[in-house]
Structure 1
Amino acid sequence: MATVYYVTHPQVRIDPAIPVPRWSLSGTGLARLSAVLGRPWVRGLAAVVASDETKAVETASMLAKAAGAALLVRPGLHENDRSATGFLPPPEFEATADAFFASPETSIRGWERAVDAQARVVEAVKAALAEAPPGDLAFAGHGGVGTLLTCALTGEPIDRRHDQPGGGGAVFAFDRRSLRVLHRWRPLEDPRIGEPV
């Protein structure tokens, strides 16, 4: 059985002067990721597929280098489009994200609708799975669309209660052939990553 790991980028350097998709990993994020690069699930990767956002490419590059795996950057895996508002202070962002998940068929403050982001990321993941080499894979992506992907794979309605733990740097896993979710979000540091529930 080949396993797919969806890995969200860990903590980033928040800079309101830089567009959010171009943010980089922070020192904390880099340290968290570095600490798990020797784990068996990382070493077993045949390829790592990244969103084209800087923080995701940085995450994917570190995973791919540790595994000696191919690195693929694919369109369609980016976070939900929030360019209508740009950077929002954390309390305002959280309130807007709550509304995004609570009303998936509505554009909240000009953001991409959750149903559209979900359809996009599901299509991009399936296309990447068809093109990637055989074996275990990782996707380096984002918490919002990762949550939408888990909802699609489990057949559950879009709901923020399925979101990753705060801070990012979380992993869920699914079977590459059947797309059955093996486990939901676990922190990068969790030794049980890859083990079914």
Structure 2
Amino acid sequence: MIELDPATVLYITHPQVEIDAAVAPPDWGLSAIGSARVAHLAQRLTILQPTGKAAVIASAERKAVETAAPLAAALGALVSCRPDTHENDRSSTGYLLPDAFEVQADAFFAKPSQSVRGCERAVDAQARIQREVQAVEQDYPDLALVFCGHGAVGTLLYCALRGVAIDRRWDQSAGGGNWFAYDRHSRQVLGHWAPIETLFAGQRAGCEKR
């Protein structure tokens, strides 16, 4: 059972988005399905009555902010935007159709030290997300942390914490809206990716550590 205490760091990926080929991916917002999934998680957080016990961090991408805002409201917190937690930079390719996107993602993880079609290298994205997450930990030493971010850099963070090589086998399931947690002191990952519907499911007010 995951509990909201200062040792806990949650990494949550944004769920389904409204894809628009005419709009840059960082400006995509959540779809109706994605928004509903976040709203249900926010309801569960409200039941825990954790006001003032957590900080909510988002990248500056619209889909991450739209994921973070309802969760922050439920937690009695403000959203802190940290632009360097953004998804891997693939602006050089522009919008890719689903099949082409999967080919690009496979290559991104398979060749982490190479730039694929001019995009940010996986090793650089991993160093960036690690650096920024550690900076946030230092900024909020006494609060549980809830990161609202992205699948690729989230997986790179997961690999670093687990001490395993970058590999897409560790990626989240399709559709987004997944989470994992780790202990900021031991650096131990507390399980693999799971859908956000499992997060705090069945927990009641007063269950968190005091």
TM-score (norm 2): 0.87
- Aligned partners of 1:91, 1:37: CA distance in 2, in Å? 33
- Aligned partners of 1:51, 1:191: CA distance in 2, in Å? 21
Determine helix, strand or coil for the equivalent of 1:37.
helix
**Contact in 2 for aligned 1:75/1:124 (Cα 8 Å):** no
Residue of 34, 54, 63 corresponding to 1:29: 34
Q: Runs of 5+ in structure 1 lacking a partner? A: none
Which has the greater radius of gyration? 2
RMSD between superposed Cα atoms in Å: 1.8
**How many percent identity over aligned positions?**
55
In structure 1, what residue type is equivalent to 2:43? G
- Aligned partners of 1:171, 1:155: CA distance in 2, in Å? 18
**Contact in 2 for aligned 1:38/1:66 (Cα 8 Å):** yes
- Aligned partners of 1:190, 1:8: CA distance in 2, in Å? 14
Residue of 57, 61, 67 corresponding to 1:59: 67
Deviation at 1:62, TM superposition (A): 1.1
Greater percentage in strand:
1
User: What's the counterpart of residue 38 of structure 1?
Assistant: 43
Task: Provide runs of 4+ in structure 1 moved above 4 Å.
Answer: 40-43, 191-194
Alignment of 1:1-150 (within 5 A): 2-40=7-45, 43-44=49-50, 46-132=54-140, 134-150=142-158
Deviations 1:153-187 (A, max 9, x none): 11000000000010000000001222211111010
What is the count of residue pairs matched by the alignment?
Answer: 194
- Between 62-71 and 118-127, report the one with greater CA deviation: 62-71
TM-score (norm 1): 0.93
**Contact in 1 for aligned 2:93/2:119 (Cα 8 Å):** yes
